[in-house]
Structure 1
Amino acid sequence: MAVDGATLRLGGVYQMDFTAQDAEEASGFDVRAARLRTTIVSHGLEAFLQTEFTGAPAVFDARLRYAFSEYVRISAGLFKSPFSRSHLISRPVLPFSERPVAVDAIAPRRQVGMSARVQAPSGWFSLTGGIFNGNGRTVTPNDNQHFLYVGRATLRPKVAGGLLSIAGNIALSIDESVRLGALSPSFSGTRTVYGADASYVRGRWLLAVEGLMAELDPAPGEDQISTGGYVIGGVPLFSESLQLVSRYQRFDPDTGSVGALARVEAGLNYQPSPTVRLQFSGSVPTEELPGEEDGLRATLRLQLALR
């Protein structure tokens, strides 16, 4: 829709899950996502708003982006920090129903701040850097006078028939009573996060690997080094609308109170149209690194998405 030189686009995603699991959490149905996306573009400036309606309505993204050219752009507001391949993939196209646990725990994820992205004309290289409050997905003021600095460099060498991507990430922050999810309920000190990932995609063929590490230096207290990552593969099955996927993931929070997690997973993705998607996945904990609450788990997801 175009009004007074501006273009308005509406989109959204709805995901309904049925999960059966042998763990402390109950099995049952869950509305995993019900999101509305609104995009307004005018004269190189893009405004993007994404809201989530599961539970209390919440703002997931509120971003302004200006493109100086197709190679240089800046973003400001609440949006995904430029860190981790899996984190930057949109939810409707994830190969499994959820991102790896290590990515959700270690990557800085959504933040309030600004970033700039520069890309080579041929697309073989891009560099993104940002400065953020470091408090996470909240519009409350910064926790102190320091900021979270995030950078990501990506190489995309030319490969016949597919897309090869190799990237590295780094983030640095000095925090004061910041909630870091599975890493810490309230962290004060220096946080340094590293990550690297590589992927090859050719249609429904997929091979990707990613590793992450967070070094937490509390003041006072003992250092904490959390590590994790995943390896994932996907192949088309009978047709391009059906994909078989498998994944191994591992996460060690190094908290002393929660054990390491390691799981082997397999699944099927059936997408008869760009709007409709059906996902089935099952996972089992490995015997070497069982977590205290690990168990067998299977999820069936129905998704409707308009992008």
Structure 2
Amino acid sequence: MIRRLYAGTVLALGCVLPAAAVGQEAPPVDVGGLLRVGAHAQANSTHEPEGFRLFDARLRVGGQIGIVFDYYFQARYVADDDAFKLWDATATLPLIPEMELTFGLFKPLFGLEATQTRGALSFLERSQASTAIAPGRQLGMQGGGSALDGRLTYGAGMFNGNGRSVTNDGDNYMFASRVQFNSIGTVAFYDDLVVQAGASIGYSSDTSAPLGKGIVTGDPTAAPHITSDFAGDRAFWSADLRVTYRQWALTGEYLRAEYDLDATPGGGMPAETDAYGGYLELGYRAWGALEGVVRYDSFQPALGDDRDFIVFGMNVYPGYYARFSLQYASALNDSPSAPTLADGQFIFLAQVDF
């Protein structure tokens, strides 16, 4: 495994970095990674196996080639295949201070929580609605930037709509965009009241596209895990608001997707259906090293019952790059298990992100 990682990294760098002229200093390279390990337990052990886990292992390599473009690669270890796989590969061309173009394999600019890096999440996984509705990594291009001293950010892109696959089903495309306004900008202080609002919208026409976890658009007996081979049109949007003041943070986000299926899959599902949900999260961080978080997480899939959970979390930051977390989830209103949540679920997480 280590040899595969080493070989993949050397190959990636060899493809990106040009041979330096004699006596010329090579461009600097930024190397980083994410490691998340821990344990998982819950009252209903049939939902997901209990025990110790390797949640994430990633390696990141990035840099700049003169004033031409920036590059970024990320590889992720996939336990099911016992191999590292390419997760991101981008080239970004800065055009003007307010606009840049990004090409390659990356996550579209859609949603608030969906665009956060995994190491920065409050809990182990994103909310149900973000996981199910926001588009995952795609092949495509995107333009975006910022204005008003960083207070306004924006972006829009065109993608294959087939996830990380290099193919494009039926030569159709997916479009996604986002705009966000922050009252302070890129620099904030603990004493500042910061209000941030954002909105996203997307559309795709598909013949065999993968969807996020928990959206049921096929065989109802496979709920809640069926996520692939969607055929039809889908329109999705989100709105979010985040308010922070000193040690307090309040965040809310709502996401919705409308589906127009080419064929009715049976099981009582209509040809036109929708899925929607969101979360409301309150956090308090003391002394910069101890954080308590509580989240109400609700989602209505395209087929099946509502899934409502309340999730409690405690995060400890012993250093700039390290984190320890405890997480407990409780189902509300007799909600069934979700792909990432279950009643009585307990998670311990140890993380290094650099």
Question: Where on the TM-score scale, by shorter chain, does this alignment land: which range?
Answer: over 0.9
1:142 Cα deviation (Å)? Answer: 0.7
State the TM-score, normalized to the length of structure 2. 0.80
Instruction: Tell me the equivalent position of 1:190.
Output: 233
- For 2:181 and 2:26, how far apart are their aligned partners in 1? 36
1:18 to 19, 24, 39: 39
In 1, are the aligned partners of 2:206 and 2:232 still within 8 Å (CA)?
yes
Instruction: Tell me the equivalent position of 2:76.
Output: 52
1:270 Cα deviation (Å)? Answer: 0.5
Q: Which amino acid aligns with 2:201?
A: I
Q: Which amino acid aligns with 1:297?
A: Q
Residue ranges of structure 1 left out of the alignment (5+ in a row):
none
In 1, are the aligned partners of 2:97 and 2:145 still within 8 Å (CA)?
no
Instruction: Tell me the equivalent position of 1:200.
Output: 243
Moved over 3 A (4+): 2-5, 201-204
2:277 to 225, 228, 232: 228
- For 2:276 and 2:85, how far apart are their aligned partners in 1? 30
Q: Percent identity?
A: 27
Q: Which amino acid aligns with 2:281?
A: I
Q: Which amino acid aligns with 1:53?
A: Y
1:290 to 335, 340, 350: 335
1:7 to 25, 28, 39: 28
1:203 Cα deviation (Å)? Answer: 6.0
Q: 1:121 to 1:8 in 2, by over 3 A?
A: same
Q: Which amino acid aligns with 1:143?
A: D
Instruction: Tell me the equivalent position of 2:15.
Output: none
Deviations 1:239-258 (A, max 9, x none): 21001111010111122xx4
Q: Which amino acid aligns with 1:116?
A: G
Higher mean C-alpha deviation, range 296-305 or range 61-70: 61-70
In 2, are the aligned partners of 1:8 and 1:39 still within 8 Å (CA)?
yes
- For 2:151 and 2:51, how far apart are their aligned partners in 1? 45
2:118 to 86, 91, 95: 91
SS of corresponding position for 2:171: coil
Q: Which amino acid aligns with 2:309?
A: R
In 2, are the aligned partners of 1:106 and 1:214 still within 8 Å (CA)?
yes
Deviations 1:72-91 (A, max 9, x none): 11111011111011011111
1:91-240 matched pairs, under 5 angstroms: 91-138=118-165, 140-158=166-184, 161-181=192-212, 182-183=214-215, 184=217, 185-202=228-245, 204-221=247-264, 222-237=271-286, 239-240=287-288
1:63 Cα deviation (Å)? Answer: 0.9
- For 2:65 and 2:210, how far apart are their aligned partners in 1? 37
Instruction: Tell me the equivalent position of 1:278.
Output: 324
- For 1:235 and 1:303, how far apart are their aligned partners in 2? 20
- For 1:84 and 1:7, how far apart are their aligned partners in 2? 32
Q: 1:204 to 1:68 in 2, by over 3 A?
A: farther
Q: 1:63 to 1:163 in 2, by over 3 A?
A: farther
1:36-75 matched pairs, under 5 angstroms: 36-44=59-67, 45-55=69-79, 56-75=83-102
Instruction: Tell me the equivalent position of 2:348.
Output: 300
Q: Which amino acid aligns with 1:17?
A: G
State the TM-score, normalized to the length of structure 1. 0.92
1:29 Cα deviation (Å)? Answer: 0.8
- For 2:129 and 2:258, how far apart are their aligned partners in 1? 14
1:109 Cα deviation (Å)? Answer: 2.1
Residue ranges of structure 2 left out of the alignment (5+ in a row):
1-19, 218-227, 265-270
1:101 Cα deviation (Å)? Answer: 1.4
Query: Radius of gyration: which is bigger?
Result: 2
SS of corresponding position for 2:154: strand
Instruction: Tell me the equivalent position of 1:261.
Output: 307
- For 2:107 and 2:248, how far apart are their aligned partners in 1? 26
SS of corresponding position for 2:28: strand
SS of corresponding position for 1:171: strand
1:204 Cα deviation (Å)? Answer: 4.6
Q: 1:21 to 1:151 in 2, by over 3 A?
A: same
- For 2:56 and 2:291, how far apart are their aligned partners in 1? 22
- For 2:324 and 2:246, how far apart are their aligned partners in 1? 18
1:292 Cα deviation (Å)? Answer: 5.1
In 2, are the aligned partners of 1:17 and 1:301 still within 8 Å (CA)?
yes
